[in-house]
Structure 1
């Protein structure tokens, strides 16, 4: 799953749903090619964009969206572009819920604060998490498996010359920046990732749970939180956040032997605030399925050396060829 936002042409107007891969399969301008959905070109308030999603599982668990124009409910309010990449696991429910609710919450808090800020985005994440927890609470008795459904959540907001990147999970945002002295466009990673394969993530978990020697486990050469999941932050995955959902009738493979008092996973996003420079060319937003097969610089080189129309589809196909 990939979205490429090309900097930075002003075209302010009414808020529009510029692009969305939603629960019905595509937006009006998207196209389907087998398991590949794509939107080769679109216009947003801060530039052009391209989107592509490939379905890796029998049931599509991933969602993405680009929203453009007003970022609040006030008139006049902050204008800009919102990008969301939601990489689901265990089922589609969480990523769909984020797709339907995150941007609404962001606009609501931006209205209350009368501006865009990291705090607005942080509150939107928390409200989305709380909303999905309510869904789990209502459905637990008839659909306990929903407690083991979750999603990584990568959000980008471009507003008033500032790019906000918020991430929970292991999706990634990479900037392409022009170095004038050489003419080269270099990759600059903007997001922090929360995957137990990184030593700093394991150290964070061990520091937060000093009395649990099994907080991270190497299982089949892959580091996993409690031997179950690779990521340490997400929306959903309530079975590792609330002990009342880590019991029967949840499937035994998700249940821990010992109860826990403190949430094991977190929904808190890592937020970076980047002041946009004239040398900034584009940003690539993508789930780990892309970055497992392309390095940051390889992805930036591919975007820089090809026409922007259809570039997200080209990125996804390049990753598929490497797989």
Structure 2
């Protein structure tokens, strides 16, 4: 991710790991599936390191858990900047924090918002270990193949195909659209020729985890959406901005709607983004329903 002007020096990996949480495989491609309540959920992912002169800063989650008699599909893409420690920490902990919220089953939206906030607070309080960087996030929770909860901060995006029509579920948190809030909090937004708008001339998104030096002017409050999964919902694409910088939502849906294997679909999208000269890290998860 080229969110910050400074080049990444390669962040320190956070030392405290919950080893029971997620598969820590370094594989950049894979797939899986789960069946619950007669509703099949299948996913595939593909991640490609960019050509921006820094180490890979993207992380993903794609797994299923049984909890309280329910089957949860947990999917996420974390797009880091100024090192990989913050997205690495999020990979191992954010979903745990969400599911540990006592009101998750009664009020998932509030639980997700609370967990995003508490996770960001922990990252800031442990910046000596995690470093000065940050990360965007897009997360999706599928409950029993019937309900979809999507949240995001930053510009990684979730796009659903509904009867072949692309619908963006997330909000791209750009500095220009949040200029008033940023300025009210004492910051400023720059727009230099040939560049994108940046918070304090540095960060190209208005919301992110971490980024201690800019936190007074950033938000970690996510946008949250709930989508009932019915017969009109075919699949959802989660991807970092390395894809969306070079591809429109409908283009992405049209490109993979006939590809039934979600791993092949994710790889098709990342390959096309590379062909279109995207230089950023490119991470993509495709989740198919039914």
TM-score using structure 1 length: 0.71
1:47 match: secondary structure: strand
- Distance (Å, rounded) in 2 between the aligned partners of 1:130 and 1:211: 18
Give the deviation of 1:305 after TM superposition.
2.5
**2:141 pairs with 1:157:** yes
Out of 106, 111, 118, the residue aligned to residue 120 of structure 1 is 111
1:312 equivalent to 2:285? Answer no
- For 1:114 and 1:273, the matched residues in 2 are separated by 13
1:47 paired residue number:
41
Query: Alignment partner of 1:310: what SS?
Result: helix
What's the offset of the Cα at 1:296? 0.6
Q: Does 1:290 align with 2:243?
A: yes
Give the 5 Å matches for 1:1-323. 22=24, 25-26=26-27, 37-39=28-30, 41-45=31-35, 46-56=40-50, 57-70=53-66, 72=67, 75-76=68-69, 78-109=70-101, 111-115=102-106, 117-136=108-127, 138-139=128-129, 146-147=131-132, 149-160=133-144, 161-178=146-163, 185-196=164-175, 199=176, 201=177, 204-210=178-184, 215-221=188-194, 222-241=196-215, 263-308=216-261, 309-323=263-277
Does the CA-based 8 Å contact 1:18-1:44 persist in structure 2?
no
* Structure 2 alignment gaps of length 5 or more: 2-19, 278-290
CA–CA separation in structure 1 for the residues paired with 2:226 and 2:103: 20
User: Counterparts of 1:207 and 1:120 in 2: how far apart (Å)?
Assistant: 24
Deviation at residue 55 of structure 1 after TM alignment: 0.8
Residues 103-138 of structure 1: CA deviation (Å, up to 9, x unaligned): 1112211x55444611111122122212212221x4
Which shows bigger deviation, 266-275 or 283-292? 266-275
User: Structure 2 vs 1, CA of residues 188 and 114 (structure 1 numbering), >3 Å: closer, same or farther?
Assistant: closer
User: For the Cα contact (< 8 Å) 1:43–1:49, is it kept in 2?
Assistant: yes
Task: Answer with 166-175 or 275-284: which moved more.
Answer: 275-284
CA distance in 1, matches of 2:44, 2:22: 9
Residues in 2 aligned to 1:18 and 1:238: alpha-carbon distance in whole angstroms:
26
Q: Which gives a bigger RCO, structure 1 or 2 (Cα 8 Å, sep 6+)?
A: 2
3-state SS of paired residue (1:219): coil
Unaligned stretches of 5+ residues in structure 1: 2-16, 27-36, 179-184, 242-262
Q: Is the CA contact 1:44–1:67 (under 8 Å) kept in the aligned structure 2? A: no
State the alpha-carbon separation in 1 of the partners of residues 121 and 99 from structure 2. Answer: 17
In the TM superposition, structure 1's runs of 4+ consecutive aligned residues that sit over 3 Å from their partners are 17-20, 111-116
CA contact under 8 A between 1:18 and 1:42: conserved in structure 2? no
Following the alignment from structure 2 to structure 1, what is the Cα–Cα distance between the partners of residues 154 and 269? 21
Residue 210 of structure 1 deviates from its aligned partner by 3.8
